Structure 1
Amino acid sequence: MVATSPQAGYEAEEEPEHPRPGSPRKRRIDNKKPLRIFQANVGKIPPAHDCALALADSERYDIVLLQEPWTAHTDTRSLTKTHPAYDTFTPVETWDGNDTRPRVMTYVRRDPRLLADQIRPFQTRDILWLTINGMTIVNFYRQNDESDALNILIRWPVPERCLIAGDFNARHHTWQTGQATNRGQEIADWASENDLDLLNTPDIPTNPHGNTIDLAFTNMPLAEAAVEDHLATSSDHFTLSLTLPDAGLAPMQPGRVRVTTDDELKRFAEIVELGAAGLPTADSTPSELDELASALVNLLTSAAKAAGRPTRKGARTAPWWTEECAGAAASFRAIRRLYPLGFNQDVQIAKRDFHRVTRRAKRLYWRNLIDSFTDSSAVFKAVRWLKSPGPFQPPPLQVGDVVYETQLDKANALRRATLERRTADDDIENPWIPVCFPRSIPFPLEISLDEAQ
């Protein structure tokens, strides 16, 4: 396991040892908890990017904000690092070089109580906006010699319940003693005008050069930020740990029901058989057919819930992240504590060893997986060719001149575009008129149980 320090303020309030399941007090506890955010610049280093995601998962962070993520591309694909415990959001879906690749990447834990929607008030590869449970989380990166990202951020109207965090590459006396450089005064003025509080502790550096350039601003009360040494990713930036207290969680949505075992199928069939007698009889009117269809759906749904079991999808860890990787990461952090600036030879050797161990672990994992294939079905299951949603979460959807950002709005837009293209005026006037077919289609009147399943 990764050697980490406990997070102060993350433990829940003292409650009865065994709260009564389903009690209002229990529900109130479950629906309020701190939202924990991991922020780091990983410097386009593959092992540092992998390490950031593995550490964030091991420490149960809800959101990961990375700047300068590792990316690559082929003729047909745009590549970056992903993690099975997190959904990946990117400001651009495709890229073909350094001039078009995303310079920020946001990861949101796969938790049904975290509802994330991506918004794009501006087209840019340096800023990524997400709305999560009524909060706006902004991931920001600004390169030293560029001004476009900061110009966009200053023009953007800051909403309520907002957090902006990332690599600002600027200096101002409010976060680092000395003269303002790289438009630091503009950033300070922008924060003041928008009633944004700086979460950084002044003069606590966020890189080995002693500069405080990774910043976090928010207009939410009681938010906190701390530079966490035990979350070092091996890049040349330190990691910020952000906490937003009392973040409201979305209510748990009912999941799918699984009916697969012989006993479950038998029970399902018995319930359907008993309920079939109560189905309404239908003639030929649309209202009667609708009533029959609704009753049939309700019967099948209730039977599945009674006979089956809910599916439980838990977030998984990265399968290649081994004890050896965790040990190498812990060794690197232990040596880095002795030399905080990170320029000592021992630190560089430990960093190189950690990168080597990480690359070897990933290579060995994939080699063993490939060697374990015994037939085509094993290969098919491993690569999941039939179910390839892509590495990124869907961006805002544009239909005509309208842009839809939330999941519900996008679903309704797709429904209207695909299912409501026809109206009742397009129906056949009398669908019961006999039709003479030139030939018949052979079709068995009986269906086996295997076919029905």
Structure 2
Amino acid sequence: MQLKILQVNVDRRRNAHHLIQRVVLEEEIDIVLVQEPNKTIVSKDTKWIVGKSQNTAIWCKNKACGITGHETGNGFVNITFKDWSIYNCYISPDVEQRTYEKCVDRVMQHARQGGKEAIFAGDFNAKSTLWNSTTTDRRGEYLADWVQALNLTVENKGNIPTFVRGAQNSIIDITLSTQKMASKVTDWRVSTEESMSLHRHIFFKVQTVGKNRRKEGFVKCRIDKELLIDTSQLMGDNISTLQELNTALHDAQKAATSWGAREERREEPVWWNDTRQSQPQGKVQFTQEGADTGEKKTARSNRNIRLGGKI
């Protein structure tokens, strides 16, 4: 089974949030990872799993993708599968360096304790040549230390900026993966299409075990009327013929429709149950391959205590 994933910071913007519905439809997205979501939208729509600080949210469009649980924290949302997990992360550019380091530590240590292979995606507001930024700042240095400590792979490809504001641009939206997950992550790319946000859409795929299985029977569905209206207005800007109007309304209806379980399925998927605690299954041993030299080795040694001990 191959999961298609969309990652984007929508800057709290309503239009950027609703554009996701259209992108999910067109690109056949399975999982959406949003940073700085529109708080009104995600608080009213139960399909979103929202972080404690409402800075991150995840929408699993494909209910058959194999999610076994989820956990929310300050600055991240984590969804788990049988033997791996995804962390959707956001750290504000306004926090001081020490607070930033604590936020990074919280996510990485949670992943260690969870004992699963993992993907880390989000707006880290950090610059480093490790993910093709033109410069490296203090935040980038600290995050890069964790990348080396856990032997993570940077999935970012090329030098297309992920953040653009006028003449200012940078690469601060990052995707990282543990070594075993790195071989399963493919087709990572930054879209240059309009996102209605200062951040661009990022797409990638994850190859997993298993496949979708469809069951016979009737399916219940629900149409979000407000979303239908907003999506129709969004699609209506370039309509000039009756055929284009018909197509736009049809696409808007599909984007605003959420599908429930088939009638013969009596139980909801376990990951929808907020009271269920995901159970760690085993431990993943992270190792540092290769030799560090010079200042990087010294920096890693000095940070061993803060990073939770020797790697």
Stretches of structure 1 that go unaligned for 5 or more consecutive residues are 1-31, 73-77, 93-100, 255-308, 331-360, 366-388, 398-403, 407-453
Contact 1:136 1:163 in 2 (8 A): yes
1:55 is aligned to 2:23: yes
- Per the TM alignment, residue 91 of structure 1 is displaced from its structure 2 partner at its CA by 2.2
- Per the TM alignment, residue 315 of structure 1 is displaced from its structure 2 partner at its CA by 8.6
Higher relative contact order (CA 8 A, sep 6+): 2
1:46 is aligned to 2:23: no
Contact 1:115 1:250 in 2 (8 A): no
Give the Cα–Cα distance (whole angstroms) in 2 for the partners of residues 174 and 249 of structure 1: 33
SS in 2 for 1:241: strand
1:325 is aligned to 2:234: yes
Q: For residue 106 of structure 1, what is the aligned residue in structure 2?
A: 58
Residue type at the aligned position of 1:216: T
Partner deviation per Cα, 1:365-419 (whole Å, 9 max, x = no partner): 9xxxxxxxxxxxxxxxxxxxxxxx9xx944344xxxxxx336xxxxxxxxxxxxx
- Per the TM alignment, residue 113 of structure 1 is displaced from its structure 2 partner at its CA by 4.4
Change (3 A) 1:236 1:249: same
Matches within 5 A, 1:129-148: 129-146=78-95, 147=100, 148=102
Contact 2:83 2:116 in 1 (8 A): no
1:248 is aligned to 2:248: no
Stretches of structure 2 that go unaligned for 5 or more consecutive residues are 240-251, 257-267, 280-311
Matches within 5 A, 1:88-237: 88-92=48-52, 101-120=53-72, 123-124=73-74, 126-146=75-95, 147=100, 148-158=102-112, 159-208=115-164, 209-219=168-178, 220=181, 221-224=183-186, 225-230=188-193, 232-237=194-199
Corresponding residue pairs, total: 236
Partner deviation per Cα, 1:317-339 (whole Å, 9 max, x = no partner): 85335555225499xxxxxxxxx
Give the Cα–Cα distance (whole angstroms) in 1 for the partners of residues 7 and 162 of structure 2: 11
- Per the TM alignment, residue 316 of structure 1 is displaced from its structure 2 partner at its CA by 6.8
Change (3 A) 1:236 1:137: same
Partner deviation per Cα, 1:153-181 (whole Å, 9 max, x = no partner): 24334444311100010111112344321
Partner deviation per Cα, 1:52-83 (whole Å, 9 max, x = no partner): 233123321110000000114xxxxx963648
Give the Cα–Cα distance (whole angstroms) in 2 for the partners of residues 131 and 315 of structure 1: 26
Contact 2:42 2:50 in 1 (8 A): no
Matches within 5 A, 1:247-286: 247-249=208-210, 252=213
SS in 1 for 2:105: helix
- Per the TM alignment, residue 251 of structure 1 is displaced from its structure 2 partner at its CA by 6.8
Instruction: List structure 1 segments (4+ residues) > 6 angstroms apart after TM superposition.
Output: 314-317
Change (3 A) 1:315 1:218: farther
Give the Cα–Cα distance (whole angstroms) in 2 for the partners of residues 182 and 111 of structure 1: 40
- Per the TM alignment, residue 190 of structure 1 is displaced from its structure 2 partner at its CA by 0.7
Residue type at the aligned position of 1:236: L
SS in 1 for 2:146: helix
Give the Cα–Cα distance (whole angstroms) in 2 for the partners of residues 236 and 48 of structure 1: 10
Partner deviation per Cα, 1:343-370 (whole Å, 9 max, x = no partner): xxxxxxxxxxxxxxxxxx99xx9xxxxx
Change (3 A) 1:68 1:240: same
Change (3 A) 1:82 1:50: farther
Residue type at the aligned position of 2:278: E
Give the Cα–Cα distance (whole angstroms) in 1 for the partners of residues 231 and 54 of structure 2: 29
Give the Cα–Cα distance (whole angstroms) in 1 for the partners of residues 4 and 222 of structure 2: 16
SS in 2 for 1:248: coil
Q: Taking every aligned residue pair, what percent have the same amino acid on both sides?
A: 20
Residue type at the aligned position of 1:48: A
Residue type at the aligned position of 2:146: W
Give the Cα–Cα distance (whole angstroms) in 1 for the partners of residues 123 and 104 of structure 2: 11
TM-score, with length taken from structure 1? 0.46
Task: Decide which structure has greater strand share.
Answer: 2
Q: For residue 245 of structure 2, what is the aligned residue in structure 1?
A: none
Provide the alpha-carbon RMSD of the alignment.
Answer: 3.3
CA radius of gyration, larger in: 1
